Structure 1
Amino acid sequence: MEITLTTPALLFPALSLLLLAFTNRFLSLASLIRNLKSIYKTSHNHLVYGQIQNLRIRLVLIRNMQAFGIASMFSCVLCMFMIYAGWQTAGTIIFGVSLILLMVSMALSLWEIQISVKALELELSDLEQDEEIAPLGSV
């Protein structure tokens, strides 16, 4: 397969947007953890502690998502350099590595989203159980 200098450059907008999304996820989780930590310090609620543990797992996943995304971007730049230097075969191989790193990053993102959805489903089921015990409108 023959790739040109512009082929790896096509990934830059996608990689930039993914890294921005991952950073936004990280910042929102960091804020949520800080809030839950202050709540836990005052209440020592085990549900809050469980939520913090869930968020810890998600933080690790987001860190790894970012690491693989950055490695993918680095590989794209290295690929462009290899093509520029005239090392077409090396550039093609490194571009393939870049695509694999991007796929790993997106797979981790999917895993993190699934964990997030499960946590929200638990919160909603807890709310639904409370509603079944005390239906709306009852005193």
Structure 2
Amino acid sequence: MKIDLATPAMLFPAISLLLLAYTNRFLTLATLIRNFSKEERDDNTLAQIKNLRLRIQLIKRMQIAGVGSFFLCVVSMLAIYLTYQQVGNWIFALSLVSLLYSLWMSVKEILISVEALDFHLDGMKEQHDSSKLK
């Protein structure tokens, strides 16, 4: 299959927006982590901290894979421009694989994020239930 220079270029806006979304997730988690240092420690908080640590690692992998995809996309365009068509095709395929990995990590992070909200809701429920007993 022969691709032209425009094919990898079509991924540029998508990858850029994806990296922006990943950065926003990272900044939100950083704020949450900084706020945790002010809270009292209990089992619920410790579970949330463990959850946040895992999410940070996933976001790091998402960002690295996204940047890798962007990088490979540019290298693919360069190879195609220099008339190394087959090399450009293979590098573009690697770019797509890297992008797929990044998206998979994003799905995993979303699922863990939902789990974090469940931890928080459980803590709120326990506080509510204990206040009713008093």
TM-score by length of 1: 0.88
Alpha-carbon shift at residue 38 of structure 1 (Å): 2.3
- Structure 1: 4+ residue segments shifted above 6 A: none
Gaps of 5+ in 2: none
Q: 1:80 aligns with which of 67, 77, 82?
A: 77
1:34 corresponds in structure 2 to: 34
2:24 corresponds in structure 1 to: 24
1:51 corresponds in structure 2 to: 48
Distance in 1 separating the partners of 2:84 and 2:95: 16
1:67 corresponds in structure 2 to: 64
Alpha-carbon shift at residue 118 of structure 1 (Å): 1.1
Structure 2 residue 1 is matched with structure 1 residue 13 = no
Contact 2:9 2:73 in 1 (8 A): yes
Q: What is the CA RMSD across the aligned residues, in angstroms?
A: 1.8
1:116 corresponds in structure 2 to: 113
Alpha-carbon shift at residue 52 of structure 1 (Å): 1.4
Alpha-carbon shift at residue 98 of structure 1 (Å): 0.3
Contact 1:2 1:92 in 2 (8 A): yes
Gaps of 5+ in 1: none
Distance in 2 separating the partners of 1:133 and 1:69: 45
2:92 corresponds in structure 1 to: 95
Instruction: Look up the SS of the partner of 1:38 in the other structure.
Output: coil
Alpha-carbon shift at residue 37 of structure 1 (Å): 1.5
Alpha-carbon shift at residue 6 of structure 1 (Å): 0.6
Distance in 1 separating the partners of 2:6 and 2:87: 16
| Cα distance change on mapping 1:17 and 1:117 into 2, 3 Å | same
Distance in 2 separating the partners of 1:74 and 1:100: 13
TM-score by length of 2: 0.91
Counterpart code for 1:49: L
Size of the aligned set, in residue pairs, is 134
Alpha-carbon shift at residue 130 of structure 1 (Å): 4.8
Task: Report sequence identity in percent.
Answer: 46
Alpha-carbon shift at residue 51 of structure 1 (Å): 1.2
Contact 2:66 2:99 in 1 (8 A): yes
Distance in 2 separating the partners of 1:101 and 1:2: 20
